[in-house]
Amino acid sequence: MLTIGWFSTGRDEAARQLLQVVYQKIRSGDIKGKIVFTFSNREPCEDKESDLFFELVRNYKIPLICFSSQKFKDLKSITDEAKGDTLRQWRLKYDREVIQRLDDFHPDLCVLAGYMLIVGKEMCHRYDMINLHPAAPSGPKGSWQEVIWTLIENKAIESGAMMHLVTPELDSGPVITYCTYPIRGKPFDDYWRELASRPVAEIKKEQGEKNALFQLIRRHGLAREFPLIVSTLKAFSQGEIKIETGKLFDRKGSPISGHNLSDEVNRAIGLP
C-alpha cells in the first residue's frame, strides 16, 4: 500500500476538491494507498479558506500538521535583519523546521497539491515529492492564475496539466504524466474575439479573474487536474511508476519520462 504525505496551503476551493477526489478514490480502492498526514504552511485562523481545508482534513481523520511560513518569515525578518538573511537561507531554515515536525512520518510519496512554497534541496532529498502544475510540459510556470494570464497574453492555442518530480527549481522537475487540451475552437473562439481589440493588461486590470476567457480556461484545466492526479497516484500505487535516486522507472526498471494521459483524462471527464 502506497503511503502518501499531502502538502497543501489550502488556499482555495480547488485545494479542498483535490483532496476530496483523491481521498474518495483511496476509499473506493482505485488508489491502493493511504494519506498518512497533511501538512500546511498556514495555521488555523490565518485564512478562512485554509480553515475550511483544515476542517475537511479533520473530518477525514488525517493527521494535520500546520506550521505558518508567514509567521516564521515575520520572525526571521526581525531576528535576522542584522545578518542580512537571504530568502534562500530563510527557506532552508523553514524546511528544516518542517522536516523536524514530520519526523514521525515516513511516506513513500509526497504530493504537492496547491502548496504555495518552493521546496528547497534538503526537503527534496528527504522525500520523493511530486507536484501538480496547471500547464503542459512546455507551458508557463507559476501559479494557475499566472499560467492563465500568460496563455492569454501569448495567444496560446492549447494548455494542459502535468505531474512532475519536485526540484528546488520552480516547476522544472522531470515530467511524470501530463495531458493537454485546446483553448481554440468552440467554445473558446467567441471569447478570444472579445479580447482581440483590447490590451490584455487593460482587461486584467478591469475584469481580473472574472474575465470570461480566463474563467473558461480555468474550468477546462481544473476538470482535467483531478483525473490526472488520480491516474498518476494509481500508477504509483500499482508499481507502474517508481522513483529511485531522483529518476523515474517503470515496473521493469526501465527509465521513463512524460506519459501523455490526454486520452485517459478525456475519457474520465466524458469526452471522446
Q: Taking Cα atoms as reference points, which of 147, 220, 145, 223 lies closest to residue 184?
A: 220
Residues recorded for the chain: 272
The CATH number for 51's domain is: 3.40.50.170
91 has a pLDDT exceeding 90: no
C-alpha distances in angstroms, 223 versus 8, 67, 71, 196, 229? 19, 30, 34, 27, 11
248 and 149 together in one domain: yes
Is residue 129 in a domain?
Answer: no
47 and 107 together in one domain: yes
140 and 272 together in one domain: yes
Residue 262 has a pLDDT of 95
Please give the tally of structural domains in the chain. 2
DSSP H helices in 103-184: 121-126, 144-153
Is residue 253 in a domain?
Answer: yes
Domain's final residue, options 65, 84, 117? 117
Confidence of residue 85 (pLDDT cuts 50, 70, 90): low
C-alpha cell of residue 243: 522513483
Q: What is the mean pLDDT of residues 229-256?
A: 92
111 and 140 together in one domain: no
31 and 70 together in one domain: yes
- Say how far residue 221 (Cα) sits from the centre of its chain: 12
Question: pLDDT digits over 148-165, tens only?
Answer: 999 999 999 999 999 999
CA gap 56, 148 in Å, rounded: 28
Is residue 123 in a domain?
Answer: no
Question: pLDDT digits over 134-144, tens only?
Answer: 999 988 988 88
Residue 56 has a pLDDT of 98
Is residue 167 in a domain?
Answer: no
HEC-encoded secondary structure of 170-183:
CCCCCEEEEEEEEC
CB 171 within 8 A of CB 133: yes
Structural domain span for residue 106: 1-117
Model pTM score: 0.86
Is residue 169 in a domain?
Answer: no
Pairing of the two strands 33-40 and 2-7: parallel
Is residue 40 in a domain?
Answer: yes
Residue type, 255: P
Higher-pLDDT residue of 212, 171:
212
Is residue 166 in a domain?
Answer: no
